[in-house]
Amino acid sequence: MAAIVFEQATVLAETRAQLIEFAGVEKVYRTGKLDYHALRGIDLSIGTGELVAIVGPSGSGKTTILNLVTGIDWPTAGTVTVDGRRIDSMSEEQLAVWRGEHVGVVFQFFQLLPTLSALENAVLPLDFARRGSKRERFKRARDNLELVGLAAKADHLPAELSGGEQQRVAIARALASDPNLIVGDEPTGNLDSGTAAEMFELLERLNTEGKTVLYVTHDRELAERAHRIVTVRDGVVVGV
């Protein structure tokens, strides 16, 4: 049965248009005179519209993969292509613009600005990108807060919100530019199990609406709800 499921997942990935492609990707971090090989020549493809979990032990290279997908970091060797564009060859300035338009990132610890309201946090990416008028930007941010079920608390500061509510704001912020890719680094890792399940249901809903969702998790139950699980160990993909 496991072999059949694996084969079905592989066929599904191959029949979709590829949104993310890693080819021979290596990442080496240097600390003093020591080199740490975070990724060791991995090949990985993720199709448009997939819901993919990345799992593996601490230090296996999971977060490094996300950093390369989002253009937060560059590979030491190999190529990273997202939506047909070689992002590994972009400059830092080009990546900042590209990321703001095409990728929404959800972090484990929310990373909301404490002195700004939920609405002001949700509108930040649009302000940085200077998209539309101020009225248009705030309308879009309000719409995104409504989408995640938090419109009633748009004027609350992060300290006045629960952990789950703060993560909803973070997801609304990630949706600011209507990206086709949502990336989560342990997006439910700082939440209790019930709230984590609610957050994942929101990510699933976004996926059914056409977003590609890629997330790292240590929660096996949440990983098994993905279309496909990518297992990483010692900088190598050992299962897809």
> Per-residue pLDDT tens for 191-237?
888 888 888 899 999 999 999 999 999 888 889 999 999 999 999 99
Q: Do strands 85-86 and 77-82 pair parallel, antiparallel, or not at all (unpaired)?
A: antiparallel
pLDDT in tens, 65-84: 999 999 999 999 999 999 99
What percent of the chain is modeled with pLDDT above 70?
Answer: 93
| pLDDT at 6 exceeding the cut of 70 | no
Terminal C-alpha separation, the chain: 16
Rg (CA), the chain: 18
| pLDDT at 38 exceeding the cut of 90 | yes
Q: What DSSP string describes 94-149?
A: HHHHHHHHHEEEEETT----TTS-HHHHHHHHHHHHT-S-HHHHHHHHHHHHHHTT
> Do 139 and 131 meet the contact criterion of CB atoms below 8 Å apart?
no
| pLDDT at 167 exceeding the cut of 80 | yes
Distance between CA atoms of 231 and 128, rounded to whole angstroms? 35
83-122 in b/e form (b: 16+ CB < 10 A) is: beeebbebeeeebeebbbebbbbbbbebebeeeebbbbbb
| pLDDT at 13 exceeding the cut of 60 | no
Q: What DSSP string describes 158-215?
A: GGGS-HHHHHHHHHHHHTTT--SEEEEESTTTTS-HHHHHHHHHHHHHHHHTT-EEEE
**Tell me, what's the pLDDT at 2?**
43
Helices (H) and strands (E) in the chain, counts: 8, 10
CATH code matching the domain that covers 49-71+91-239, chosen among 1.10.3720.10, 3.30.43.10, 3.40.50.10330, 3.40.50.300 = 3.40.50.300
What sign does the dihedral 10-15-16-18 (CA atoms) show? positive
| pLDDT at 16 exceeding the cut of 70 | no
> Do 110 and 170 meet the contact criterion of CB atoms below 8 Å apart?
yes
> What are the structure tokens assigned to 59, written together?
């230090």
Q: Which residue in the block uniquely carries the two structure tokens 């748009």?
A: 154
